[in-house]
Structure 1
Amino acid sequence: MNLNALSSLLESVTQFQQLQKSLARTETSARVQVLANAVPFVFATLSRCLRGPMLVVTPRAEDARSLYEQLIIWTGDGDTVLYFPENETLPFERLVSDIETTHQRLRTLSRMIDPKDQPCIVVSSATAVAQKSIGRQVFESSTHTLYKGQHIKFKEMIDLWCRMGYMVEPVADAPGLVSRRGGILDIFPVGSSSPVRIELWGDEIDSIRLFDPTSQRSTSLVDSVTVIPAQEILPDLTERDQLDRLIDSLDMSNCTVTTRDRISNELASLLKGGDTDGLNFYSGFFNRDSLLNFFPLDGVLALYRPSEIDDTTKANDERTYQLRDVKERRGDLPRAFPSSHMLWREVQGMMERIHRRLDITPWGAQELTNQDTYVLPFTSPPEYFGKLEKFVEDANDLANGGHCVVAVTSVPKRMREILNEYGVNANLLQCPDDIPVPGSITVLQVTGMGFNEGYSLSLNGHKLIVFSDTEIFGVAKQRRRAIRRRVARHETILSELNPGDYVVHVEHGIGRFVGTGHIPRDEVDREYLILQYAESDRLYVPMDHLDRVTAYIAPMDRTPTLTRLGTQMWKRTKERVAQSTHEMASELLSLYATREFAEGVAFPSDTPWQIELEDSFPYEETRDQQTAIAEIKTDMEQSRPMDRLVCGDVGYGKTEIALRAAFKAVMAGKQVAVLVPTTVLAQQHYVTFSQRLSAYPVKIEALSRFRTEQEQRQIVEDLTNGKVDICIGTHRLVQKDVKFKDLGLVIVDEEQRFGVVHKERLKQIRHEVEVLTMTATPIPRTLHLSLAGIRDMSTIDTPPEERLPIKTYVSEFSDELVREAIRREIDRQGQVFFLHNRVRNIDYMANYIRAMVPEAEVGIAHGQMPEDQLERSMIDFADGKTDVLVCTTIIESGLDIPNVNTLIINRSDTFGLAQLYQLRGRIGRGVRRAYAYLMIPPSSSLTELAEKRLKTMLAATELGAGFRIAMKDLEIRGAGNILGAQQSGYIYAIGFDLYTKLLGEAVEELRARNTSIGFSDETDESGKWIQEHAGNIGASVTEMPVSVDLGIPANIPQQYISDLPTRLGIYRKLIDVKTIDGLCSIDEELVDRFGQLPWQVRNLLYVVRLRFQADEAGIKSISREDGKIVLRLQDNVGGAGNALQMVMSSGVKVGHTQIHIDLNKLADSWEGPLIETVENLTAFRERLAAQLEVEA
C-alpha cells in the first residue's frame, strides 16, 4: 500500500513547490520547517518529485528506524527505501556483532551502487554514517554476476567466496553460507531472498536454480545470480601495502607485554589469512570508507534535526577520545591505533562534496532570513483517546466545512462501522491513487508498522486533516509478524547428532552415539549407527532401523544412565513408565468425563462493549491469539464448565486473552478471580487490567500482602457483597475467609508454582466454575497431540512482533563496554538487567556498577533474599524506581517489563544454550531496539563447548539447530510443569520422544475402551486393564518394520553425501515415506541437491519401496535364500491359497505362510517380478476384504 494520493495534495502547496524548485537546482542548500508528525510524508513526496537519490541522516538510531518504517508505508515500496543501521560496536572494543546488522548494511550499499533504474531513499543515523565500512573499490571489484553457460573454475570460485566473507557449511540455509557437493555449488548470497544452486557440467554452468532454504528443494530456474561480499571486514581483499603502513605506524611503547604479544600475534594471523574473533577491533586497519563514499554527489543530502545531530556527534567524538585515552594509559591500546569510527569533522568534509543539501527541523526555520528557507503549513490534529463519539462528531463537522478528512488506520472496516454507527458515511479508499475530495471522510488502510501520528495541512481554501490510530484510539495499532516457532521434531534433532550425544533405542535403551561405520566382511556393505552402552558394549544399528533410535531429550541439567545390554533393566523401566502414563491418562479422562456431564454457566455472546474493548487492543492479534480467544469463548458459551490451559511464553499475549475472558464474565454479571503466584505479578496484572478496562464501569481490586490488613478486610467484604467484579491476588485469594457473591471464572497464572494445598483447592474449584489456566513455558506439540481429547489446551507459538530483533554481542568483560551499555539505555529512559549468577558476591558487583555508573539507581534481586525484600526490589524495578537490577537467574520467568531493553550477562560461558535463549527473551518486549551483551573471560580460557554455544547465540536464527535444541529443552521443562514431578522423572528415565509415544498409546487405548464401557466407571476399568496387560504395555511402540534382506548393497555412499547429519536426515526421510509419490519426491530431491543417483542409492530406493508395499500386503519379511526369494506372511493364507496362486505369475509358489519366487524360472531380473508379486498380494487382500464386508 502507498499513500501517493495524499502526496499529490502536498505538491499543490505553494511553499512545497518553492522548496521543490530549490532542490531541483544542481547546487543548493535549503532549510525547511516541518511538523515532526509530517516529516515522513514530506520526504516521500520529495523523493517522488525529485526522482533522484536521497540520503536522510537522523540524530539517533531509533529515529532512523522509525523514519524508515514510516517511509515504507508512504511509498508502498520496500525496494526503494533503504536502511543503513548502526553496527553498534564501540571503538577499540572486542565486540562480536550480530551478522544480521552487517548483512543489512551490505544490502544497502549494494543497492546504492546498483539502483536498478529506481531512485532510492537511504535512511541512516549520524553514528552509522560515521562508522567505517568496506571500501567501495573492494566492494565493486569483488561483486560479480554468474550466468548460465559461463565457464568457471570450481575451486577458485569457492576460494573467492571465502575471501568475500562467505563460510563453507554442509547446508546453505542462511545468508552468507556456501555448500558444495560433487558438481553442485549452493550459495545464499547476502541481499538475496533465496539461496541459489549452481550445477556444473565440467567447468560450464549448466543451470542456476533458486531453492527453498528449509526443504533444500529447487523452486525455479534463473539466468544469473549476483554475489556481493558477506562481511564488511575482508582482510584477504585489502591492499597489503596499506596494511603494512598502518602496522608500522603503531607505537606499542605504552602497551603491557600481554597486549603487545596479543596484538602482534593477531595481526600476524590476519595477514596470513587466519581468523580472529576480535576482527571488529581491527576494522580501522581494513576499512577507510563510509556510507558517503557510496552516495552519488548529485543526490540530495537531508539532515533531520541538524542541531541534535551536532549534539550526538560531539558526544560520539568525546566518547572516542575518552576510550582511546583510558585504554592507552592502561596499556591496552597502542598509540596511533586506527579507529573504526570517523570523527564528525571528517564526515562533514565528505558531506561538503554533495551539491544539494537540505536541513529539516520541527522549529526555528521561520526566524532565518535565508532565501532558501521554507515553512510548510502543518499543524497537529486534535486527539480523542478512544472517545469515538466526539471523534465522529468533529470529523463530520470538518467534512461539512469543506475539509478533507482522512483516517489512516490498521482497522479500516471497523473504522467505517464506527462512523456508520453514528450516521456518518465514509469512503473506503481502494485505489491509492484516488485523491480525497474536499467535504469527504476517507478511510485508508495502513499495513505494517510505523504510521502512528497524524497532521493537518493547510491547502488552498481548505485543509487536509489526517488522523492515525493514535489520535483516534489513544494507541497506535501495531501489527505483529506471524513467525511461528519451528517445531523441534525428533527426526530433525536426530539428523543433528554429534558423537557423544545420548540416544534412545526403543528395544535396547539409552546409549551414547559414537558415529557411523561398517561391519567387516559384510557382503552388502551396509552403513550402521554405532551406539555405546554400559560397560563399553556396542550396538550396530542398520540405517533402515533408524526409526528405532531417537535423540535423548530431557532437561539438560541431568546426565542419563547408560542401559546395560542383555538385561531386563530397560524392559522393566519401559513397563513402569507405560503403566504410569496409563494411570495419569485415566485420571485426566475421569476429570474430563465428569466435566462433560456437569452443569455450568453458559455465558451469552459478545456484547458491543466487548467488541469495542477488543478493537482498542494496541496490537493486531496473532493467529494463535485469535484461535485461543475463539476456543475460550466457545467453552464459556457452553453449559459445561470450562477448564482450559493456555501455553505461551511471557509477552506472547496471554494476559490479553485472560482479560477478555474476564470481561466476558463480568458482562454476564459474574465475578472473576485472577490467581497469580507472586505479589509482583499480581501488581502487574492489576495495572494492566485497570488500564485496559478504565473506560468501563468495572471494579478491580488486588488482594496481596502489599495491602494493609484493613484494606484486605474491606476487599474481602466487597467480594462477599458483590461490589468487586475482578479480584487479582496471590494464594490469599483461595483462603477460607474469602467468599465471592457470584464467582463465575477463575484465571490461574502459573499453577505449577503453587503449593499442594492450594492445588487441591483449585482441583475442587474446577468442578464448580469456569477455570482458565495459563503457563509461560512452551510445551511440545507432540504432548499437545498426545493429550488431545482429554485436556483442553490452547498454545501460542507465534511470538509478538518485536519491532526489532534483539541485537546480541559477545565480548570480553570490559568496564568501558558495561558503562557505555548501561548509560546508553538510561539515556533513552530504559532499564537494564545485569545478570550475575553468584549470590555470594552479588552485593560487591552491585557496588561495582554503582561506582562505574554513579548516576544509575541500582537494585538487587536473588532467591536467597527475604521474600518481602525481594518483592519490594522487583516492584521498585517494575515501577521504574531503579535503573539497573543486578540479579541472578530469578528473572528467567514471571516478569514482563517492556522498558527493560538491555541485558548484560556476566560469565555467559557458564550458561546452557536453552538458558541463554530464555534469559535473552526477558528483554525486547517493547518498541525499542533491545541489546544482549554476553560477557566472557579472555577467549583463551573459554572451553570449546562454551565457545560453540556463544557462537550459536550470535547466529540465533529460528532455522538453526541450536534454536531447535534449546526450544526442545524449554518445552521439556514445560511438559514437566504440566505433567507433574513424577512424570518428569519418567521423562528423564526414557527420554521425551518415547514417553510421548507411550502416553499417546495410553490415551488412545483408554479412549477406545471408554467408548465401549461408558464413562461411569472408567477409572476402575482402566485400573483392571493396567493390571491385566502390564507386560504388553507399549508393545505397539516397539513393533518391528518389515525385514528386507536381498543381499544387494543398498545405502548412501559417503562420496555422494559426505555430511553425516545430512545423510542421517535422508535415511530418516526414507524410513518415514509410505507412498510412491513420497518416494518419487525424495528421488527428485536427491538428484536436485546432490546430483545423479549412484547405483547403491537406486537399490536403497527400491528396498524402501518394497518395504512399505510389503507392509501393506501383510508381509513380515523378504529374504533371498538358495536361488529363490522368500516372502514370509504375517497371517496364514488358509483356504484362500488356491485363489491367491491363480493371480500370481509363473515362477511364484504360494504356501500357507510363505510365498516363494524361483529365480531360475525368471526370464529377466528379479526386481520387477518381486514388486509385481507384492502388488498382486495387496490387490488380492483388498478384494477379499471387500467381499467379506459385502457378505457380512
Structure 2
Amino acid sequence: MIILTGRVERAYNITEQLPVWIPAQTVERFAEPTAMFYERSPWTITTIRSRLNTLSTLAKADESRAKLPLIVTSAYALMQKTLPVREFRAGSRPLRVGGRVELENLLRTLLHVGYSPASIVVEPGTFSRRGGILDVFPMSSDLPVRIEFFGDEIESMRVFNPATQRSSETIYQINITPAREEMPRFAPDAGRQLRSWFASQPQQEEDITSTLPDEEALLGGSAFPLIEFYLPYLYSYPANLLDYAPENTLIVIDDWGALQDSVTDLEEEALSVRQDKVVSQQLPLDFPLPYLTWDEIQDELSTRQTLHLGSNPEQPASDQAVVGDLFVPGDHYAGQLRLALDELQLLYEGGETDIVVTQQAQRLAELWSETGDYVHPITSITRPSEIAPLAFVEGALGEGWNLHAGSTSLHLLTDAELFGWKRPEPRRRQQPRALPPESSFADLEMGDYVVHIEYGIGRFAGLRKRTLDNSEREYLLVEYAGSDILYVPIHQADRLSRYVGADDTAPQLNRLGTQDWTRTKENTQRAVEEIARELLELYATREQVEGHAFSPDSPWQHELEASFPYVETDDQLRALTEVKSDMESHRPMDRLICGDVGYGKTEVALRAAFKAVMDGRQVAILVPTTVLAQQHFNTFSRRLLPFPVKVEMLSRFRSPAEQRQILYELAEGQVDIIIGTHRLLQPDVLVKNLGLLIIDEEQRFGVTHKERFKQMRTEVDVLTLTATPIPRTLYMSLTGIRDISMIQTAPEERLPIVTHVGVYNDKLVRQAILR
C-alpha cells in the first residue's frame, strides 16, 4: 500500500500517526528531494538513504516473499524521477562468504553505482581497500562491513564501528545496493552533451548557480555532490516510485484536490525557474524534465487500484462512502490538564472507553495516578476493541473525536484537545550514525601532530601495509624525533588522538626509547592534582554559602512540562535534571547551559523559571537585544498562559509610562517573570524577591555588566545560556568553577543551516525564500 498526499507536511504527519494504529516497523516514508526542481544543490545523505531504502525494498519484492511496508509519500517525492528498476537491480551486488568475486571488478562496480573511495570508511556510500581487505558502507545498512578476501574468494565478513574501526558481529551475506539514484557510469555521456552545449554558447561568467564546473566531474564518471541535478540526462527512460511498486499495490490518495494543487504549483514554479535559467544560459533549452507532470501522474494512477480518502470529482457518487457523520469533535481543554483528567474520570466511571494519545503519556499517567489507579502507558492501538476502558498511548495524532455507535461510546483525546493547539508531530528518531570524535584518526591528514597514549607526541605519516606471518595488515605510521617510526595497528587506532595545543606553535616531538614522555605525564599529573586541591577549596567555600533551596516539582510543574510541544532530547533532559538538582540544593546555582541555536536551551530556562515562581520567587531574564527580549516574552507568555504567572518585558518596545508601571509592579512582587535588556541592571530596577537570574548570551554584555553579574551570583541562583561561550566562561565551566550542561543533540528533524557564498543574486534569494 502507498499513501499519497498533496503536501509534504501531511506526509510527515501521517507517517507519525500510523504507528499508533499499526506496528511502527511496517511504515516507511519515501522522502522528497532536498533540492527544488532545476536547483543545482546537493541532496542530504538522509534524503538519499531514505529514498534508496524504499526503492531497494520494492525492487526485491519479486525475489522476496517478505511482507512489504506501508509507504507514505507526497506529490513532490512522487514527481521526482529516479533510476529505472532494471538499472537498480543490475547495480545491486549480493555477496556471501565463500563466494568468488574478482576484487578489481567489484571496486569498479562500486564506483559505477555511486560509491566514493575514502581513506577510511565512516560515511554511508563510501569504500576503502587495504590489500585484500575491503571496507564498504552499503546505503541500505546501518553499519559498514569489512570483507576479507583470500585471492578471489570471500573469506569473512564482519560489521564494524565506524568511530573505532573495530569489527564486531560476523555476517555471512550482504546485498550492496546502489549508493545513488544517479549511476555515475552513465555520467560521461551527460558530460559530453554538456560540453557540446557549452561550446555553442557565448562565454559566461562562472557563479555559484552555473553548471559549467560540473562538466569535468561528469566526464570523470564518478559520483560528486551535485550529480542529482543531471539525473534526467543519465537515463533515456527514467522511472518513478510507482514503477517499483507491484501491480497489486493499493494507492490511497489522501486528498485528490490537494494532490492536484500541489503538483500544478510545483510545475508552475519549476517552469518559471527553467525559463530563467535558459534565458541566463545556465540550462540547455532541451534539458529533459526531472519530474512527472500532472497529466503523467494521472495516467500512472489510472492503471492502479486507488482509494480516495477525500472527495474526488471524477469518482461516481455511488462509489463514495461517508463515515464522517459518525465522528464528533472532542472537547478542548487549553492546557487545563486537571479539568481534562476530572472529565476522563467521569467517563471512566460511566463505563465508556477513553483513549488518550499523547507524546506525554507517561506524565499524564502519573498525574492520573494521583486520583486513581496507575494506568501503564502503551505504544499502539492495534485492536481498539480489546483495550481497557482507559488507555494512555504514547504517540501523535492530529485531532481527537467522540464516536457513538449504538451502545458503544469511544472517546479519543489527543494533544490538540489537551493543550489547545495542534502540536507538531516529532519525526521518528533516526538511528544516529556512529561518527568518530574530532580527535579521531579518521580526520587526520599527512603531517598532523598526534599523541600516542604510551609513546607521546609524533607526526602522522599516513597508512602503510605490512606483511607479518603471511598476513597483510594495515598500520598507521607515526614519525618521532630522531627518525624513529612507530607502526600502530588499525585496531589500536583509539590509542592515538590529534594533538591540541594552546596556540599554533609546533610541538616538540618525543623520542622513542626515552623517559621524556613519562616525565611529561608525571608533571601533568602533579599539575592536575594541584588544580584539584584548588577546586576542593573553592567548592568548600561555595558549600558554606547558604542559598534558597527550591521545593521539589509541583503538580503544575508536571503539567507545564507535559505541555511541551516537542520531544525532549536526552541532553535536554539531562540538563533539566542538573538544573533542578542545583535549584533544590542550599548552594547557590551557577550553571552554564551550552548548546547550538535551536537545541532547546530556552525550554530549559522556561522550566527553571516556572519552578522558581512556584516557590514564590521572582525571575529576571537578561538578554542582549530588544528583538531577543520580544521573542522570549512571546514564548514565555504563550507557554505560561494556562497558569497564574505574570510575565512582563522591559525594553524600548515599552513606553515610559508602561515601564514605570512595570517597575512598580516588579518592586511590589506582582510581576513573576521580568524579561529585559541591560535596562534590568539600572539602579531604579528593584525586584522584591529575586530567586533566579537567567542570562542569555552573557558574552555579549560589557565589562561593567559582568561585574554586576559576579555580585548577583553570590546572592541568587544564576543560569547562563550560550551557544558560543567566551574563553573565560568556558574555562571556568570546564575547570569546575562553574557547573556546565552541554546540549549537543539536535532536536528531531531540526533543519540544518545551508550556507551559500556568492555575489548578490535576486533569483537566488527568491529561490531560497521559496524553499
TM-score class, shorter-chain normalisation, is 0.7 to 0.9
CA distance in 1, matches of 2:435, 2:109: 36
CA contact (8 A) 2:20 2:380 kept: no
Alignment pair present for 1:444 and 2:385: no
Q: How many residues align?
A: 735
Q: Which residue of 2 aligns with 1:286?
A: 234
Match of 2:92 among 143, 153, 160: 143
Please report how far the alpha carbon of residue 420 of structure 1 lies from its aligned counterpart in structure 2 after TM superposition: 4.7
Show CA shifts across 1:551-587 (max 9, x none): 45479xxx83557999xxxxxxx9xx99999999898
CA distance in 1, matches of 2:301, 2:662: 66
Alignment pair present for 1:203 and 2:152: yes
CA distance in 2, matches of 1:123, 1:516: 45
Show CA shifts across 1:150-194 (max 9, x none): 111111111111111111222222221112222222221111122
Aligned with 1:282: secondary structure? helix
Counterpart amino acid of 2:486? Answer: M
Alignment pair present for 1:701 and 2:639: no
CA distance in 2, matches of 1:484, 1:798: 13
Counterpart amino acid of 1:301? Answer: I
CA distance in 2, matches of 1:783, 1:690: 31
Q: Which residue of 1 aligns with 2:102?
A: 153
**1:712-1111 mapped onto 2 (5 Å cutoff):** 712-777=659-724, 787=734, 790-803=736-749, 806=752, 818-825=764-771
CA contact (8 A) 2:694 2:720 kept: yes
Show CA shifts across 1:1067-1093 (max 9, x none): xxxxxxxxxxxxxxxxxxxxxxxxxxx
CA contact (8 A) 1:57 1:125 kept: yes
Alignment pair present for 1:69 and 2:13: no
Alignment pair present for 1:315 and 2:253: no
Alignment pair present for 1:336 and 2:286: yes
Q: Which residue of 1 aligns with 2:635?
A: 688
Q: Give the direction of change, closer, same or farther, for the CA distance of 1:578–1:407 in structure 2 (3 Å limit).
A: closer
Counterpart amino acid of 2:414? Answer: S
Please report how far the alpha carbon of residue 432 of structure 1 lies from its aligned counterpart in structure 2 after TM superposition: 5.1
CA distance in 2, matches of 1:563, 1:194: 37
Q: Give the direction of change, closer, same or farther, for the CA distance of 1:591–1:485 in structure 2 (3 Å limit).
A: farther
CA distance in 1, matches of 2:412, 2:128: 51
CA contact (8 A) 1:187 1:195 kept: yes
Show CA shifts across 1:739-767 (max 9, x none): 22222222222323222222222222222
Q: Give the direction of change, closer, same or farther, for the CA distance of 1:819–1:346 in structure 2 (3 Å limit).
A: farther
CA contact (8 A) 1:599 1:641 kept: yes
Q: Give the direction of change, closer, same or farther, for the CA distance of 1:419–1:350 in structure 2 (3 Å limit).
A: same
Q: Give the direction of change, closer, same or farther, for the CA distance of 1:612–1:394 in structure 2 (3 Å limit).
A: closer
Runs (5+) with no aligned partner, structure 1 = 1-53, 518-525, 532-537, 567-573, 826-1192
Q: Which residue of 2 aligns with 1:383?
A: 332
Counterpart amino acid of 1:633? Answer: K
Which of the two has greater helix per residue? 1
Alignment pair present for 1:181 and 2:130: yes
CA distance in 2, matches of 1:206, 1:437: 52
Please report how far the alpha carbon of residue 795 of structure 1 lies from its aligned counterpart in structure 2 after TM superposition: 1.5
**1:525-564 mapped onto 2 (5 Å cutoff):** 529=478, 540=483, 542-543=485-486, 551=498, 553=500, 560-561=504-505
Counterpart amino acid of 1:282? Answer: Y
Q: Which residue of 2 aligns with 1:617?
A: 564
Q: Which residue of 1 aligns with 2:165?
A: 216
Aligned with 2:609: secondary structure? helix
Runs (5+) with no aligned partner, structure 2 = 465-474, 511-520
Q: Which residue of 2 aligns with 1:124?
A: 73
Alignment pair present for 1:466 and 2:416: no
CA distance in 2, matches of 1:297, 1:369: 24
Please report how far the alpha carbon of residue 108 of structure 1 lies from its aligned counterpart in structure 2 after TM superposition: 0.7
Show CA shifts across 1:104-162 (max 9, x none): 21111111122442133222222222221111111112223112221111111111111
Q: Which residue of 2 aligns with 1:925?
A: none
Please report how far the alpha carbon of residue 703 of structure 1 lies from its aligned counterpart in structure 2 after TM superposition: 2.1
CA distance in 2, matches of 1:358, 1:527: 59
Alignment pair present for 1:632 and 2:579: yes
**1:492-511 mapped onto 2 (5 Å cutoff):** 492=440, 496-499=443-446, 501=448
CA distance in 1, matches of 2:343, 2:124: 51
CA contact (8 A) 1:381 1:455 kept: yes
CA distance in 1, matches of 2:262, 2:366: 46
CA contact (8 A) 1:254 1:331 kept: no
Aligned CA RMSD, in angstroms, stands at 4.6
CA distance in 2, matches of 1:203, 1:470: 61
CA contact (8 A) 1:96 1:277 kept: yes
**1:222-233 mapped onto 2 (5 Å cutoff):** 222-233=171-182
Q: Which residue of 1 aligns with 2:365?
A: 416
Q: Which residue of 2 aligns with 1:939?
A: none
Q: Give the direction of change, closer, same or farther, for the CA distance of 1:779–1:349 in structure 2 (3 Å limit).
A: farther
CA contact (8 A) 1:595 1:767 kept: no
CA contact (8 A) 1:665 1:744 kept: yes
Q: Give the direction of change, closer, same or farther, for the CA distance of 1:589–1:706 in structure 2 (3 Å limit).
A: farther
Aligned with 2:695: secondary structure? strand
CA contact (8 A) 2:19 2:380 kept: no
Query: Which moved further from structure 2: 495-504 or 790-799?
Result: 495-504
Match of 1:641 among 588, 608, 613: 588
CA distance in 2, matches of 1:564, 1:369: 84
CA contact (8 A) 1:485 1:799 kept: no
Counterpart amino acid of 1:710? Answer: A
CA distance in 1, matches of 2:509, 2:146: 46
CA distance in 1, matches of 2:612, 2:146: 57
Counterpart amino acid of 2:40? Answer: R
CA distance in 1, matches of 2:572, 2:361: 21
Q: Give the direction of change, closer, same or farther, for the CA distance of 1:778–1:173 in structure 2 (3 Å limit).
A: farther
CA distance in 2, matches of 1:527, 1:386: 59
Q: Give the direction of change, closer, same or farther, for the CA distance of 1:579–1:145 in structure 2 (3 Å limit).
A: closer
CA distance in 1, matches of 2:374, 2:243: 53
Show CA shifts across 1:990-1023 (max 9, x none): xxxxxxxxxxxxxxxxxxxxxxxxxxxxxxxxxx
Alignment pair present for 1:273 and 2:216: no
Counterpart amino acid of 1:443? Answer: A
Show CA shifts across 1:1128-1179 (max 9, x none): xxxxxxxxxxxxxxxxxxxxxxxxxxxxxxxxxxxxxxxxxxxxxxxxxxxx
Q: Give the direction of change, closer, same or farther, for the CA distance of 1:807–1:370 in structure 2 (3 Å limit).
A: farther
Match of 1:81 among 8, 18, 27: 27
Q: Give the direction of change, closer, same or farther, for the CA distance of 1:809–1:207 in structure 2 (3 Å limit).
A: farther
Q: TM-score, normalised by structure 1?
A: 0.55
Counterpart amino acid of 1:637? Answer: E
Please report how far the alpha carbon of residue 373 of structure 1 lies from its aligned counterpart in structure 2 after TM superposition: 0.8
Match of 1:100 among 35, 46, 49: 46
CA distance in 2, matches of 1:490, 1:127: 37
Show CA shifts across 1:664-705 (max 9, x none): 322332222222222222222222222222222223222233
Query: Which moved further from structure 2: 249-258 or 464-473?
Result: 249-258
Q: Which residue of 1 aligns with 2:299?
A: 349
CA distance in 1, matches of 2:452, 2:166: 31
Counterpart amino acid of 1:146? Answer: L
Q: TM-score, normalised by structure 2?
A: 0.82
Counterpart amino acid of 2:230? Answer: Y
Aligned with 1:617: secondary structure? coil
State, as a whole percentage, how many aligned pairs show the same letter.
Answer: 38
Counterpart amino acid of 2:264? Answer: K
Higher Rg of the two aligned structures:
1
Aligned with 1:733: secondary structure? helix
Please report how far the alpha carbon of residue 229 of structure 1 lies from its aligned counterpart in structure 2 after TM superposition: 0.7
Please report how far the alpha carbon of residue 510 of structure 1 lies from its aligned counterpart in structure 2 after TM superposition: 11
Please report how far the alpha carbon of residue 658 of structure 1 lies from its aligned counterpart in structure 2 after TM superposition: 2.4
CA contact (8 A) 2:3 2:71 kept: yes
Show CA shifts across 1:341-366 (max 9, x none): 23222232233222x122221x588x
